[in-house]
């Protein structure tokens, strides 16, 4: 049983859903994020339920520079979801932030966890570590990331496993390779949010490539279920895929979004971008065996839930989709 846990990236898309689920189970949650509650609109919106719960304690901290020992001390489990996301910006000068946040921040968190005797770390990795694949990716497949973002996520994942494999380490680690997570609170730059926004506003969707590229979309509630299961897994160092159950083309996604919203999705085709792989798909065998994980929310239902959330956003938040 978990009594007190840390969630890094608590104000983010997946992190805030995880926080809500943990609090609903009566777990005391320490939430770490660079975005300060009360001063950042996204943090305020994503953590609106959490901040009124006496079991939740938020901290505004940067993993790469701030002192972490005090906040992880006495915690049984650390869920490490904080990261700089996004494939395309990682090619630019912004890569410095990817290295500081995804790599250095993870290293400093691991050092603090080791010093404070934390038992279990669950780290959010990514399907981006695989690179191009011509079949569903298995956890023991070679990793070949094709973007700086993917490289930074692989480095963070491997750091966690290295610390868990130390002979003198009190820490065990499970790295979860998430496959394209979507749902309410999703970042506006991600595919499903952009597709739905185009459907409701008539602003053309910028589609990179010809639409044949395939992605395995995974609903955020399923991701949270797998993440909680990973905290209970009897393993010292493990890697597990977390997928949505099916890989679909972008054109199929657009058609499904049209069915969900009852609106056409206008599209503007542009060239494929560096770092975009032709397809992602997860082999679910290990997740089923180790975590008892089966995705429960299909694409149609998940799209409907995200669409319902999107149409109720404030004007300020909707502006993020056009920026």
130 carries an active-site annotation? no
- The whole-angstrom separation of Cα 316 and Cα 4 is 34
User: Across the strands, what pairs with 7?
Assistant: 31, 79
Q: Which two tokens stand for residue 35?
A: 């975005």
Q: Which segments within the chain are labelled E, that is strand?
A: 4-8, 28-33, 56-60, 77-80, 120-126, 172-178, 181-182, 205-208, 214-216, 218-219, 237-242, 247-249, 267-270
Catalytic residue among 98, 149, 163, 219: 149
Q: How far apart are CA 242 and CA 264, in angstroms?
A: 31
Query: What H or E segment, with its residue span, contains residue 41?
Result: helix 41-46
| Cβ atoms within 10 Å of 198's Cβ, excluding its own | 24
Cβ burial, residue 322 (10 Å; 0-12/13-18/19+): exposed
Catalytic positions, please? 149
């Amino acid at each position: 049983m978990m009594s007190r846990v840390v969630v890094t990236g608590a104000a983010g898309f997946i992190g805030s859903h995880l926080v809500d689920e943990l609090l609903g189970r009566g777990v005391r949650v320490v939430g770490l994020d660079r975005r300060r509650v009360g001063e950042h609109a996204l943090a305020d919106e994503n953590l609106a339920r959490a901040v009124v719960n006496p079991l939740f304690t938020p901290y505004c901290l940067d993993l790469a520079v701030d002192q972490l020992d005090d906040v992880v001390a006495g915690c049984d489990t650390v869920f490490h979801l904080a990261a700089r996301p996004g494939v395309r910006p990682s090619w630019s000068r912004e890569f410095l932030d990817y290295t500081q946040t995804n790599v250095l921040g993870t290293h400093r968190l691991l050092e603090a966890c080791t010093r404070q005797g934390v038992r279990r770390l669950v780290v959010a990795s990514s399907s981006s570590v695989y690179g191009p694949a011509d079949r569903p990716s298995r956890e023991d497949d070679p990793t070949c990331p094709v973007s700086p973002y993917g490289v930074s996520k692989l480095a963070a994942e491997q750091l966690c496993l290295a610390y868990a494999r130390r002979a003198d380490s009190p820490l065990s680690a499970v790295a979860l390779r998430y496959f394209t997570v979507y749902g309410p609170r999703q970042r506006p730059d991600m595919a499903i949010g952009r597709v739905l926004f185009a459907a409701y506003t008539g602003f053309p969707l910028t589609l990179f490539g010809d639409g044949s590229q395939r992605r395995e979309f995974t609903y955020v509630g399923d991701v949270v279920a797998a993440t909680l299961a990973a905290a209970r897994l009897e393993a010292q160092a493990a890697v597990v895929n977390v997928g949505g159950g099916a890989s679909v083309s972008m054109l199929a996604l657009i058609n499904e979004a049209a069915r969900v919203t009852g609106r056409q999705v206008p599209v503007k085709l542009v060239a494929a971008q560096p770092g975009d792989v032709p397809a992602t798909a997860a082999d679910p065998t290990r997740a089923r065996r180790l975590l008892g994980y089966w995705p429960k929310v299909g694409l149609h239902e998940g799209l409907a839930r995200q669409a319902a959330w999107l149409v109720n956003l404030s004007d300020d938040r909707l502006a993020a989709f056009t920026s």
